[in-house]
A and B are shown apart, each in its own frame.
Chain A
Amino acid sequence: MKKNINVRHIIVKDAADIFTPLSLVFGFYIILHGNLSPGGGFQGGVMIAASAVLIYLGYGFKTASSAINMEVIRKGEAIAAICYTCLALLGIFFGLNFCRNVFFNNGAIGDLLSSGTIAFMNYAVGFKVLTGVSFLILLMVSLLAPDSDSEHK
């Protein structure tokens, strides 16, 4: 079984170079416009996480793991979860119920921030998914790398 891709073809590397920024930009676009257009936090988050795979395919595990600090990613995911919970808890602080969309009526329909907490929750979930899925992918991939610690390097 081929444990690690040592010889990287130039096509793979160039394709990774080209598509990594594309997937990042498009993913962020989808997250930011989740309340206006098709898509949302989950879809955009997964797209951004795909860029982690692209970096791995183009440059191998060592570069990918040095480019991405896995401990920070994991903590970032917890922070995103706390953000979502706090956005939901805002409802209680405003004297309403949990998960209440508290400042919903600013701006016209179709504006980026017109939908109140929906947009912010969207960003929180997007951040959570992009950290979570890229962490999961790198965790799996790290097992294929030679003499790697199973947790992180």
Chain B
Amino acid sequence: MSTSEVNGLIIVNYIGSVFLIAIGFYTMMAKKNIMKIVIGMGIVDYGINLLIVSVGFNPGGTAPIFTINELDPGTFFVDPVPQALTLTSIVIGACVTALALSLVIKIKQEYGTLDAGQIRRLRG
């Protein structure tokens, strides 16, 4: 496969990440179960991670590590900066999930339900 064809295929990743983000937002907007809202937040996060990693893609590049025994002459790398950003983003996503799940546990104890339609003591 030539370089330009590989370069063109990255659009699949972009569209996939847009699709994931849209699914996540849809879940947050349309679903009433707060557990599903948490899942939606997670899906948005995964979509963003996919987007960031895809941005750093370089057709034909290898992982940016100078393991000299395994490299052929003329090897070049993919972009390491988005990978570092993704690492950060993954941890942040895990923290969001942890915080949201602990809130969900407490809400279930307090309200006895997971229905967002009933968790509305503060309104108006």
Contacts and interface: CB of A to CB of B under 8 A. Distances in A.
Contact of B98 (A37, A40, A136): A136
B105 A143 contact: yes
B91 A38 contact: no
Interface of A: 37-38, 40, 42, 109-110, 133, 136, 139-140, 143
B42 to A, nearest CB: 15
Interface of B: 63, 65-68, 87, 90-91, 94, 98, 101-102, 105
B65 A38 contact: yes
Contacts of B87: 40, 42
Given A42-B87, A42-B91, A37 B101 contact: no
Q: Which secondary structure dominates chain A's binding surface?
A: helix
Contacts of A38: 63, 65
Contacts of B68: 110
A149 B102 CA distance: 14
A37 B67 contact: yes
A49 B104 CA distance: 23
Given A42-B87, A42-B91, A37 B102 contact: no
Contacts of A42: 87, 90-91
A11 to B, nearest CB: 28
A107 to B, nearest CB: 15
A38 B87 CA distance: 12
